[in-house]
DNA sequence: GTCTATAGGCTGATAGAC
DNA sequence: GTCTATCAGCCTATAGAC
């Protein structure tokens, strides 16, 4: 079988596989499954295009392998997070940090992969991505439900909370390149916020937005400026 | 010229154009530009595929026409919103309502179109979508800045506010079908929230999250349950 | 304006030498 | 495992009849 290695991994084949996974990720993230071509991926990986068929059984096989490894890693990170201690506020913050690290460092482009799959749900969507997404929803749900139980959060819907928070994050990181692109053309207004900036903003928004006590409608006077 | 009509619009050609625009939107939204085929679009529109070239000058021409009309309408709605009166809170709420109406009724699929473009920024991205996005950012910026000036909002960054809010909205509506799909397979946890539900949630999150007075860290006792 | 027929390019995949 | 050569299929676009 091509996809499961028979020889020790200390061979050129390992390099080939990983080069294809890396180049494939880049192309699939930017152009989607249909938009990417195996020739371009192979060229970018510096290997012959026939090797995509040999190692992964075809274009779709490469794509599935990429989704698998990517979301497997995300899920592992979530598992560790769910077991760690702290207040619900801290856990939510740590989840946002994890998302950023994955999106910017460990698995660049994973938000775009996720979004593309969710927008064009084929058969594979449910089987492949579904369980991983469900795990993500579940972590948020546990945190939010605990926050509510401990009277730290308002009685919000955990699923809607997940959608608003993770949706905002996925959108931001999936469209970072687009903003850069616009920036170069001078077509985008204002600054080009970094991932860290956005994550800090999101933490503030969520923690204030979820907090129990409602602020008074009329502000008395100017106080506590957010730095 | 094919794209600008010379004859009165009371002809079959008008029907053909609109059938192609409608079918094209569906296909482009679901499969992206590369993933959609003109043959399928023409079949779905019930017209001959050569007419795509006649009326729009080709596949790309049809796509551009779709982006143009879609985002033109969004922008018009925003213009009206910006001129209407009310508190910053009301304006933000009305903007979210407008987004939902556009995404679910007037221009189904527009969030997906926006996302796909933003994820794969080509040359046309800046020229075509850029100005429309800039207009969107600008409306949020004006509202948020007024809210801050009037001491109703915290001193938040308007651009980050826009990204979190509109990003969450775009994500939600672009992935609605995906959730339905998962729901059928039983792979998605929990309910399947409607657009209206999500918009109401987002209003609450933003207004609480942006509000001036910070809630105390320790809740005194259980009060004011959010309905 | 609409349709049929067809051209021409590109894509993913495979057979077979090394 | 890697590479070259090649194929069949699909896709967009066009020419020309009506």
Dihedral (CA of B103, B208, B160, A105) sign = negative
Say how far apart CA A111 and CA A106 lie, in whole Å: 12
List the single residue in B130, B208, B219 with the smallest CB-CB distance to A182: B130
pLDDT of A23 reads 98
Q: What is the DSSP letter of A87?
A: -
Contact check, Cβ <8 Å, B163/A193: yes
Give strand letter and number of the nucleotide nearest A12 (CA to C1').
D1
Checking if the pLDDT of B225 tops 50, the result is: no
Instruction: Find the angle CA(B183)-CA(B185)-CA(B191) to the nearest 5 degrees.
Output: 20
Is A47 near strand D, with its CB below 7 A from some atom of it? yes
Show which positions of strand D are touched by protein (CB under 7 A). Answer: 1-5, 10-16
- The per-residue pLDDT for range A84-139, each reduced to its tens digit, is 999 999 999 999 999 999 999 999 999 999 999 999 887 777 788 888 988 999 99
* Per-residue pLDDT tens over the stretch A18-47: 999 999 999 999 999 999 999 999 999 999
* More reliable by pLDDT, B200 or B122: B200
CA torsion sign for B94, B100, B105, B109 is positive
Instruction: Collect all residues with Cβ–Cβ distance below 8 Å to A215 and sequence separation of at least 6.
Output: B208, B211, B212, B213, B214, B215
Q: Is the pLDDT of residue A177 over 70?
A: yes
**Averaged pLDDT for residues B94-110:** 97
Distance from CA of A104 to the nearest CA of B (A): 15
The residue that leads in pLDDT, B185 or A39, is: A39
Distance CA B2 to C1' C15 in A: 47
CB–CB contact B156 A30 (8 Å): no
Q: Which of A125, A166, A197 sits opposite B181 (nearest CB)?
A: A125
> Which whole-number Å values give the CA distances from B69 to B18, B103, B106, B107, in the listed order?
11, 14, 11, 9
* B181 contacts on A by Cβ (under 8 Å): 121, 125-126
Name the nucleotide with the smallest C1'–CA separation from A60: C12
Greater confidence (A178 vs B64) lies with B64
**Cβ distance B165 to B206 under 8 Å?**
yes
Written as six digits, the tokens of B43 are 């079949």
Q: How far is the CA of B11 from the C1' of C1 (A)?
A: 10
Is residue B71 within 8 Å of B132, Cβ to Cβ?
yes
Beta bridge partners of B153: B211
- Least-confidence region, from A101-110, A151-160, B116-125: B116-125
pLDDT of residue B1: 40
Angle at A127 between CA B167 and CA A56, to 5 degrees: 100
Q: What is the CA radius of gyration of chain A?
A: 21
Cα–Cα distance between A114 and A125 in angstroms, integer? 10
pLDDT at residue A214, rounded to an integer: 54
Residue B38: alpha-carbon gap to chain centroid:
24
Which chain B residue has its CA at the smallest distance from A31's CA? B120
Residues 6+ apart with CB under 8 A from A96: A165, A169, A199, A202, A203, A206
Structure tokens of A86?
Answer: 């702290």
Residue A52 CB lies within 7 Å of the nucleic strand D? no
The owner of tokens 């007075």 is B213
Q: Which of B3, B66, B63 is nearest to B34 (CA)?
A: B63
Residue B2: pLDDT above 80?
no
Q: Would the CB atoms of B209 and A212 count as touching at under 8 Å?
A: no
pLDDT at position A50: 97
């Amino acid at each position: 079988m091509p996809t499961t290695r028979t020889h020790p991994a200390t061979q050129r084949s390992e390099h080939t596989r990983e080069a294809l996974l890396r180049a494939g990720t880049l192309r699939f993230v930017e152009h989607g499954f249909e938009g990417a071509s195996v020739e371009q991926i192979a060229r970018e990986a510096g290997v012959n295009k026939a090797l995509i068929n040999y190692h992964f059984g075809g274009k779709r096989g490469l794509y599935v392998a990429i989704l698998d490894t990517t979301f497997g890693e995300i899920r592992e990170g979530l598992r560790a997070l769910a077991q760690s201690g702290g207040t619900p506020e801290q856990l939510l913050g740590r989840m946002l940090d994890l998302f950023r690290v994955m999106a910017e460092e460990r698995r660049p482009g994973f938000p775009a992969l996720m979004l593309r799959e969710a927008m064009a749900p084929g058969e594979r969507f449910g089987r492949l991505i579904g369980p991983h997404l469900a795990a993500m929803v579940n972590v948020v749900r546990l945190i939010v439900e605990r926050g509510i139980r401990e009277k730290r959060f308002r009685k919000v819907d955990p699923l809607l909370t997940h959608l608003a928070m993770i949706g905002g994050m996925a959108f931001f990181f999936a469209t970072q390149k687009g903003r850069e692109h616009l920036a170069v053309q001078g077509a985008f207004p204002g600054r080009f916020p970094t991932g860290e900036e956005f994550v800090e903003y999101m933490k503030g928004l969520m923690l204030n937005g979820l907090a129990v006590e409602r602020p008074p409608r009329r502000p008395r006077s100017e106080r506590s400026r957010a730095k």
